[in-house]
Structures are given as structure tokens and as C-alpha cells.
Amino acid sequence: MNNMFKTAMLMAAFVAFLGVIGALIGGRNGLMLALLFAGGMNLFAYWNSDQMVLRMYNAQEVDARSAPEFYGMVAELAQRAGLPMPRVYVIHEEQPNAFATGRDPEHAAVAATTGIMRMLDYRELRGVMAHELAHVRHRDTLISTISATMAGAVSALANFAMFFGGRDENGRPVNPLAGILLAILAPLAASLIQMAISRAREFEADRGGAEISGDPLALAGALQKIEYYAQGIAMPTAQAHPETAQMMIINPLAGLDVGELFRTHPHTEERIARLHAMARGVG
């Protein structure tokens, strides 16, 4: 299943969710309004979701003058990957983490926290940025940014249904219990779609990043460090916008996963084991 098809299916799933919520809030009229809203959100997400996520994290763009070593690292890796030079951002957060965004390789951006830049050595950070560029090369970034935007929209509408209630086809108020269930189950279902896609993407980005950098063990070492330290350092923006957690190289809400279905990322131990196996194969 190629990523363009995945993106189309993801958009369709979220449109269906929003349609169901709209119907429960306002019957047939609510359904039509929700579908119009979903169409507008899809268009907005396609063109603007990357900038919206970067603004959420107050990411600051850097260049060869303001961050020569980091910028030069990304430039070297982008050249190795055969990619256009992405925009490069720094996020002033203590938690070690990184992500990539953008609707296609020609409009891509990569971002890393100041925490990860301090914590990792040059080789490990290079492995992380190669992982993020693998997301760009695989065109995962469109999927992740659209899913984050649409999941946020589902949650907003579901909360609206709970607090303001809904009406059936005859204008009668719906059961308030239904509104409460909707507020719980709709974001949950949206999250399940996000998470299933996210876990598969991370394995592929690990493999692709190791190929770009030519150093699987560097990424393995980085993942081990990030996993250990991220659990003890909060990322307030991610806590305020949990729908963006699946974009990060390691779950910024570590420790909050409940069961395998709700994991935004594969187990770090399995990711590290695969990278070690890849290194042995290369060696």
C-alpha cells in the first residue's frame, strides 16, 4: 500500500468520523455541515498543517550562519538521501526529541529540540536526523501532519457535542449520555487510526535512516539515550497537543501508552534490535 493511498484512506476515515459526529449533533443538517467542515479541514491540513505544527512548538528556523554544524549535518544527509534541502528548525525544549513535517520533499522541514542536540554526540544526532529525512523521502510527513490536524478536529467536535448536546432529525435533544460517549469514543477511534499508521512508519524510517547515514548503530545508540531521558523530562507542548506525539522520533508522552493498540511508536527495544541486526548484516 503506497503512501498516497494511505493518505487518501486516512482522509476518508476522518471525514467519516466527522460526518458521524455531525449527524449526532444536528441530524441531517449536522451531517452536511460536518462533511463541509471535513473537506475544508482536509484542504487546510494539506497546505498548512506543517506550519501549524511548527508554530505549536514555537520552532525557530536556523540556517548555515545561525547553526552551522547542525545545518551542515542536515545538508550532508539530504544530499546523501537525494533530497532537496529541507528547512531546518530548533525547538527550545529540554526533552530530547525530533520530527519531520511538510506535504512533500520539496516543502519539507526537520526540527530537533535543544535537549536532543545537547544530549547526543555528533554521530548519534546525525543518525536521528537521517531517520527524519527518511520520513521525508518516504513521504510520511504528509500522513503524520494531516492525521494530527484531523484528530484534533475530531476531538474538538466531540467535545462540542458533549458540552452543547445535539438534536435528532426532528429537533429533539439527543440523550446526553450519547454525547458523553461520543466525546470519549470518537477521539479514541481517531487515535487508533493514527497510531497504527505511526508504528509501521517508524520501523521503515529507522531502516531508511540507517541506510542514509550508513551507520545503524548510531541511531540505535541515540534511541536508547532518548528513550531513557525522555521519560523523565516533560514536553508541555506535546502534553497540550497529544495528537502530535506520533510525529516524534520517540513518544514525548512516554509512560502513557495503554496496551499495544494505543502505542504511538513501536517498542524501542525492538527498534534497537532491528538496527543491530542491520549493522551485523552490513558488517
Could you list the active site residues? Answer: 132
Grid coordinates representing 72 are: 551542515
How far is it, in rounded angstroms, from Cα 120 to Cα 136?
A: 22
Residue pair 264/251 in contact (Cβ under 8 Å)? The answer is: yes
Count CB atoms within 10 A of the CB of residue 241: 18
CA torsion 122-128-129-130 (nearest 10°) is 110
Helical H segments across the chain, by residue range: 3-56, 68-81, 114-119, 122-137, 140-164, 176-213, 216-230, 236-240, 268-282
Residue pair 61/89 in contact (Cβ under 8 Å)? The answer is: yes
Q: Which amino acid is at 42?
A: N
Q: At which residue does the C-alpha cell 511508536 appear?
A: 265
Grid coordinates representing 278 are: 542491520
Grid coordinates representing 56 are: 505549536
Q: At which residue does the C-alpha cell 516524534 appear?
A: 248
Grid coordinates representing 221 are: 545508540
